Every structure is written in structure tokens, then in C-alpha cells.
Structure 1
């Protein structure tokens, strides 16, 4: 083989190695944060297997709901950016209200936002389907801070608002599943599948 052919082959091998390495790195980082049941220890993952921190919040309809009062039922907590997260969060909240699968599985869904009551009533005027969901107002952000959801990858307003984060609490009040979702999808089917594992 000539010197030129050896140089070309080395160049091709180096290029292929760089491309394969780049694809490997990109595919690894794009999966981070899509599901939080990963091996890495994060404040969100650290909740799994532990009692869910208790809280009492008021809904936009004026009802006060305490998490510990729901023992005996599975509970999905959906921390989200609320009104500023249109349409993704609005669509997920509306989808929760329209799905009967959760009720059939003895599951309560609580969407937790940092919005004010009057602002939320305006959103329901624009999208009446939202009224079918239980939306709790964490206006002082104490519950969002308690659950460490203000600085996760899905938050578009890091440190200020939660992003698109799901936490499943079982009938005994223990956290069984967490997911931070930067893709901000509607995850009803995935959550039903997780509830069925309990």
C-alpha cells in the first residue's frame, strides 16, 4: 500500500470514530431527563420509596386538599408551569380531566400550578375542558420547593416555576414513580401503566 492510501485510510477511520462517538454522546444526553427513574441520584429520584411530603393547597374552586387525606387512593401530582405553559401544560391538565381511566384505577390526579385563582378562572373561560381537572394553587411555591421541582430540566423558568413533572404516590402515601418531562407531552397512558404496576 502506498503512503497516500495509508493516510486516507487513517483519515477515514478517525472520521468514523468521531462520528460514532458524537452519535453516542448525543443519544445519551437526549435521553437524560425524559424519565427520571434513572440510576443517577437527583432530588426527584431521592423521593422514590419514601413517604410523600404532606401539603395542603387550595384549588381554583376554593376547596382545600391535603395530600395525606387521600391515603387509600393512588395520587398523581403534576407539577407544571401553569398558564405560561400553553399549550403543553394546558393540554395535559385537560387530558387528565377527560380521562376516566384514573378514576377506574382508584387514582386522583392533582395538577399543581403557581398561578393566582383569578388568573386561572380566566384560563377556564378560554379552555373550558380545564374545569374538569383538579388544579391546586401553590402561589407561594412552598409545595414546589418541598418537592424540589423548580430547577429540573423541564422548567423553562429555572428556580421560578416547575416544568412538567409527574410524581405517583401509592395508596399508602409512598412515592413510587417520578418523571421530569422536558418534551412536555401528554402522558396519560404511561402514567396508567405505572399505576397498574402498583
Structure 2
């Protein structure tokens, strides 16, 4: 069982394949804030709604000093298709092995079509330029999350 991540703690470091054909390492982004958001699946209604909201507000996050990274268990190929179809302008990371999902404790038991399964709980971790957790947001709603996150960050700026 993963320890609960708390505000002020060091964000767990990782390296994952990205949708640009390379890798992204969290610690290599030090000096910038990071919005690390976990979502269940490419090309589904809620995940598309959330990704489009991040896409449409990316300039606002960047003006606040944040880079946006989206993480799911989908393949790089799936991420590339999702990025192209939706015109996404931020990096998507593939966690097929669930390593980072486990580090951040986002895999939860869910009910889908009457069956129990494990899936990603829609969650966001706001990481400071020094690599510390500023906000831990679990169980967020796809339709309202980005607006709520921006209000929080712009209010703190």
C-alpha cells in the first residue's frame, strides 16, 4: 500500500515515455511548477472534456509558471492519437506498468458495468518549482476541475 502523499512532501520522482517519442523525468523540470494530472482513459467523454479544458487554458497555467503533464495507463500510440484528435498542446505520459500510478496512489477499486475493477481515480498534484507538493486533489470532476484549479492557483498568485 502506498503512503498517502501530503502537501509539503517531496513529489515522487519518475521517468515515463511521452507522446513526443521520448521520456519525461519529473526532477528534470525543477525550476518550473508542474500540474501532474492522472486520468482514466484516452478518448472517453470525461477525459476528453478535462483534456480540452487543460488545452484551452494552457496559457493561463504557463503564465502562473506551470507545465501540464497528463498521465494514464494508455500506450504512447493511444496518447498520440488522443493528442492529434483533440489538438492537445501539453505532454501526455504513458504509465502502462502503473509504476507512477502506484507512487501517487491513484489506483482505486471502481464499479464498471456491474463489475469491480481497478482504475485511475481522476486526481491532480500541483508541484512547486522545488519539487514539493503544493496541492493534492483526489476524485476531481472532469467538467469543473480545470476551472477550480485555475481559481485556486490564480487566487494564490
Give the TM-score of the pair, scaled to structure 1.
0.67
Q: Which gives a bigger RCO, structure 1 or 2 (Cα 8 Å, sep 6+)?
A: 2
SS at match of 1:76: strand
Q: Kindly provide the CA deviation profile for residues 94-138 of structure 1, in whole angstroms up to 9, marking residues without a partner as x.
A: 22122210111110010001001222333345x2323x2211111
SS at match of 2:11: coil
CA distance in 2, matches of 1:54, 1:124: 24
Change (3 A) 1:182 1:173: closer
| Greater mean alpha carbon deviation, residues 60-69 or residues 181-190 | 181-190
Change (3 A) 1:64 1:156: farther
Partner of 2:63: 104
Change (3 A) 1:159 1:171: farther
Query: How far off its partner does 1:81 sit?
Result: 0.5
Could you tell me which runs of 5 or more consecutive residues in structure 1 were left unpaired when the two chains were aligned. Answer: 1-41
User: Considering only CA atoms, is the larger Rg found in Structure 1 or Structure 2?
Assistant: 1
Higher strand share: 2
Higher helix share: 1
Question: Which of 26, 29, 33 is 1:67 aligned to?
Answer: 26
- Runs of 4+ in structure 1 off by over 6 angstroms are none
Question: Which of 135, 140, 148 is 2:92 aligned to?
Answer: 135
Change (3 A) 1:183 1:105: closer
Partner of 1:14: none
Query: How far off its partner does 1:181 sit?
Result: 2.6
Give the TM-score of the pair, scaled to structure 2.
0.83
SS at match of 2:107: coil
Could you tell me which runs of 5 or more consecutive residues in structure 2 were left unpaired when the two chains were aligned. Answer: none
SS at match of 1:108: strand
Matched positions, count: 151
